[in-house]
Amino acid sequence: MVATNDCDVLIVGAGPAGLMLSTWLSKLKIRTRIVDKAPTKVLVGHADGVQCRTVEVFQSFGFAQRLVDEGAHINEVVSWALDSKGDLQRTGRIPDNEPGTSRFPHAVLSQGRIERFLLDAMKDFNDLTVQRSTAPVSMSVDQNLVGDFSPNSYPISVTVRRLTEEESVPTQLGAVPNGLHRSNLLADDESDAAKGTKEAGAFDNAGEEETIRTKFLVGCDGARSWVRKHMGLSLEGDAAGAVWGVLDAIVSETTFPDIRLKCTVQSKVGSILIVPRERDYVRFYIQIGSTKPGERFDRSSVTPESIIETAKKIMAPYTLECSDFEWWTVYEVGQRLCKTFSHDKRVFIAGDACHTHSPKAGQGMNTSMMDTYNLGWKLAHVLLGKATPDLLKTYSEERYKVAKELIDLDYKLSRMFSAKPKEEGGDGDGVSLAEFKAFFKSLSRWASGTAVHYLPNMLVAPERQPALAPGLPTGMRFESHLVVALADARPWHVGDRLVSDGRWRIILFAGDIREQEQKAKLEQVAAYLDTPDGPIRRYTPPNDDLDSVIEILTIISNPRISVEPNAFPAILWPARKPYGSRAYDKLYADDSSPVTPNVRGEIYKNLGIDPKTGCIAVVRPDQTVSLVCALDEHKQIGDFFAQFMVPRA
Ligand code: FAD
């Protein structure tokens, strides 16, 4: 029997990782519960950088524009260092992202606002909210049921307890409250802050316990993860930590000309990272010390004023006066990684629970959200009976690789940042300006999040040799370009057709179908896809729309008006239930729209696809390219899906 407190997925922790997962699962209508020990979401401070790839994912859920409008945008990174006379000089400017990396900016906005967007989305999608001031106290996994993925099998039981105010509210750091100027909160966050108080009854049920039966448990509960500990796992690596002073302040007066640009400043006194923030705030990151394993840093000497005093010394002779310290912290972190992110295909960890590193590359929040963006659709596929549980193995494989790369790069970045400046060609351990600049440049693509590259596995076919589309490597995110809809001449970014709704996409780059041979190839592909044993009908429930599991999008290379929509086989623009209207939004051309004649996405050229012969790309629900093959290799599509998809009766 299903009890009301049973769920399919229980998430512990409602930081960026937990909220991204609950947003995904809400969108896919999965029965989800999410608990967090804190009484409110983050309100100010914490992480702030949102890389281009994360913005693309927000777009696929429909709320990227909120971030783009509210956030500061990082376009250029400037380095400052001492010249041979010992004077601080601007030593280089590089674009924050290589031109063409993404159509979205690298934006900077408080973690609390990112959490707001996710909280709003999960509420909108499936009325899901976070159960706050609640933490797990015990868990058990029934080994007899672990391999039983039938609908009524709940192998995991977790007992959670409602916390008291003392247990739930994080302690403030030092005498000056670290953050929370209520007057700075936007109206939608103000109500959240108010809800987490005694007056609002947030702690009325303190001490109450509840046992939740669940099919999957996901620990998104940060660096000190309770779930990780109960999986018998730990973070391994450099227990020594870098200690960072982080401060968000309004700069009331400065002679430093680049205060609204992202800057690294290296002087004899130390290094500082400056990040322009929303609402005229500026974030200062200064490494103020480091700890050896087992050692604790004495935070009592650090205040917002002391952080600014250090900043002033580093930036001298430029002046710097700050007012309105919105948030500050002493952030102590080592480069540490958990050896696996899953157990028994039933319990998973994500985000800071699996990897910790310095804030310098602005990756913590992004990598954490991308962990659960990778996991969410896979859990849903298994829960909805679309795929076998084996595909869950790929979560840890894929995300461990990303986390390992992040930790390795962060290690190098830390060395660059804390090393003393060295004369060009000089001896010693320092880092020369040229090395510093070259390293930062090499980071740009990686830091945008678009360089994530999963290795071949059951969801990522090996790269076809020779590559048919060098711009579409398997294991990387689908790079979006503009196309135009055949039927209504509307320009579309292909990325906007790859919404996060749990569907796979087969993208047919049909080539130039004015050529009879090419048209015949497209018809053969369509005929294959339309057969009862083809991947569309095999995996789509009989009463559902034909595009409900796998959607086919066709992009031709010949001009839009050189072909009529009804020249295409029916499976490529299937009829929709209940009225039988045709799905005109499946057919596109690599062409401009009559209203923007000079704007053409040139998708074939940009992805390196031959405009005569085209190719086929299979794209996962998280927009990762799974398979690329030639049109006449279309049977590979069926072989690919047969590895993990479950045929529908
Ligand atoms: P978290 O954001 O840590 O979220 C974990 C959630 O789990 C929290 O809401 C917590 O209340 C909850 N939780 C924990 N334990 C339990 C439990 N037992 N039961 C129930 N709930 C639990 N990154 C930067 O890039 N720049 C910064 O300046 C920066 N500053 C930071 C300052 C602080 C004080 C902290 C803690 C982190 C900072 N980070 C910063 C890191 C960044 O915030 C994280 O990388 C990112 O938030 C990771 O997201 P997450 O969801 O994995 O974990």
Complex confidence, ipTM = 0.97
In short, whether 17's Cβ falls inside 6 Å of ligand 1 is yes
pLDDT at 179: 44
Q: If you take atom 3 of ligand 1, which residue's CA is the nearest one?
A: 222
Residue 644: HSE in the Cβ half-sphere, 13 Å Cα cutoff: 18
Q: Band the pLDDT of 270: cuts 50, 70, 90.
A: confident
* CA 460 to chain centroid: 19
Residue 234 is predicted with a pLDDT of: 93
359 is known as an active-site residue:
yes
Q: What is the pLDDT of residues 557-589, one digit of tens each?
A: 999 999 998 899 999 999 998 888 999 999 999
Q: Which of 235, 331, 366 to mutate to test the pocket of ligand 1 (most atoms within 8 A of CB)?
A: 331
pLDDT digits (tens, 9 = 90+) for 43-85: 888 888 999 999 999 999 999 999 999 999 999 999 999 998 9
Ligand 1 mean position to 342 CA, how many Å?
20
- Does 155 sit in the ligand 1 pocket, CB within 6 Å? no
pLDDT over 90 at 148, yes or no: yes
Spacing, Cα 68 to ligand 1 middle (Å): 23
Evaluate if residue 180 carries a pLDDT over 50: no
Domains of the chain and any CATH numbers: 6-74+104-237+337-415 (3.50.50.60), 242-335+417-447 (3.30.9.10), 482-641 (3.40.30.20)
Q: Which of 33, 113, 162, 277 is catalytic?
A: 277
Does the annotation mark 318 as catalytic?
Answer: no
Is the shortest distance between the CB of 111 and ligand 1 below 6 Å?
Answer: yes
State the average pLDDT over residues 156-179.
Answer: 73
pLDDT band per the 50, 70, 90 thresholds, residue 426: low
The number of beta carbons lying within 10 Å of the beta carbon of residue 353 is 32
Most informative mutation of 46, 169, 332 for ligand 1 (most atoms within 8 A of CB)? 46
For ligand 1, whether the C-beta of 459 sits within 6 Å is: no
What integer pLDDT is reported at residue 445 of this predicted model?
81
**C-beta 133 within 6 A of ligand 1:** no
- Ligand 1 close to Cβ of residue 362 (< 6 A): yes
Tell me what percent of the residues of the chain surpass a pLDDT of 70. Answer: 92
Residue 345 has pLDDT above 80, yes or no: yes
Residue 215's DSSP bridge partners are none
Answer whether residue 243 shows pLDDT above 90. no
**What's the pLDDT band for 332 if we cut at 50, 70, 90?**
confident
At 418, the pLDDT band (50, 70, 90 cuts) reads low
Q: What is the mean pLDDT of residues 291-306?
A: 82
C-alpha 352 – ligand 1 centre gap (Å): 7
Q: Catalytic: 154?
A: no
Question: What is the rounded average pLDDT of the residues 113-127?
Answer: 97
The full 3-state SS of 269-304, as one line of letters, equals CCEEEEEECHHHEEEEEEEEEEECCCCCCCHHHCCH
What pTM was estimated for this model as a whole?
Answer: 0.94
How distant, in Å, are the alpha carbons of 25, 454, 501 from that of 373?
A: 10, 14, 12
Measured from the CA of 331, which atom of ligand 1 is nearest?
A: 32
Contact at 8 Å (CB) between 498 and 479?
no
Number of Cα atoms under 13 Å in the Cβ half of residue 578: 0
Is the C-beta atom of 219 inside 6 A of ligand 1?
no
Kindly name the residue from 6, 48, 352, 547 that is annotated as catalytic.
48
Specify the residue with its C-alpha closest to ligand 1, atom 32. Answer: 46
- The residue count for the chain: 649
Amino acid 181: pLDDT:
45
- Give percent of the chain with pLDDT exceeding 90: 72
Query: Is 565 among the catalytic positions?
Result: no
Q: Using 50, 70 and 90 to split pLDDT, how confident is the model at 176?
A: very low
